[in-house]
């Protein structure tokens, strides 16, 4: 009979490191610089534990790319200003092209008043805002520890 061995996830390992630093190390550090560095380290580890996986990254790009493609296919008035432009491949380099195209479409939506502009503001913009909020929530743990203040990590 083979026993199953539990292997913690990366998130669990990093969360355990944060708890150890927060609950054991920080309370016992007397040097202010060491305490501030330990606090910042907890923020960095918390941020790392919540980084999106490659699958999530690709899914987010596909979601943006799909919204852009749908808009480009649905509105003739977008054919001229965005002729030949399409979302990039689902890679880091392609993400730059996809996000630049999304940005250019948002600028178009601000400068023009037509059904395509309304669709961009009603479909693409909310999608991008939602993803930005998700990114902000993911990075907030790290940002809250930049000052090194222990009140941000101590219970």
- How far apart (Å, rounded) are the C-alpha atoms in residues 18 and 47? 11
- How far apart (Å, rounded) are the C-alpha atoms in residues 137 and 14? 18
Burial 48-63 (b: 16+ CB within 10 A, else e): ebbeeeeeeebebbee
Q: Output the tens digit of pLDDT for each of the chain's 155 residues.
A: 567 888 888 888 988 999 999 999 999 999 999 999 999 999 888 888 877 777 677 888 999 999 999 999 999 999 999 999 999 887 778 889 999 999 999 999 999 999 999 999 999 999 999 999 988 888 887 787 877 776 555 44
Q: How many alpha carbons fall within 13 Å on the CB side of residue 53?
A: 5
Where are the domains positioned within the chain?
A: 10-51+140-152, 54-137
């Amino acid at each position: 009979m083979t026993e199953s061995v539990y292997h913690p996830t990366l998130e669990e390992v990093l969360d355990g490191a944060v708890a150890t630093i927060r609950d054991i190390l920080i309370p016992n550090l007397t040097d202010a610089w060491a305490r501030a560095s330990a606090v910042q380290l907890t923020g960095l580890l918390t941020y790392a534990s919540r980084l999106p996986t490659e699958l999530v990254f690709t899914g987010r790009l596909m979601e943006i790319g799909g919204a852009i493609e749908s808009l480009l296919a649905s509105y003739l008035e977008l054919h001229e200003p965005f002729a030949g432009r399409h979302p990039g491949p689902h890679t880091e380099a392609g993400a730059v092209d996809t996000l630049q195209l999304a940005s250019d479409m948002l600028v178009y939506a601000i400068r023009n008043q037509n059904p395509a502009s309304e669709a961009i503001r009603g479909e693409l913009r909310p999608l991008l805002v939602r993803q930005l909020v998700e990114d902000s929530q993911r990075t907030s743990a790290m940002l809250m520890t930049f000052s090194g203040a222990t009140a941000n990590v101590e219970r």
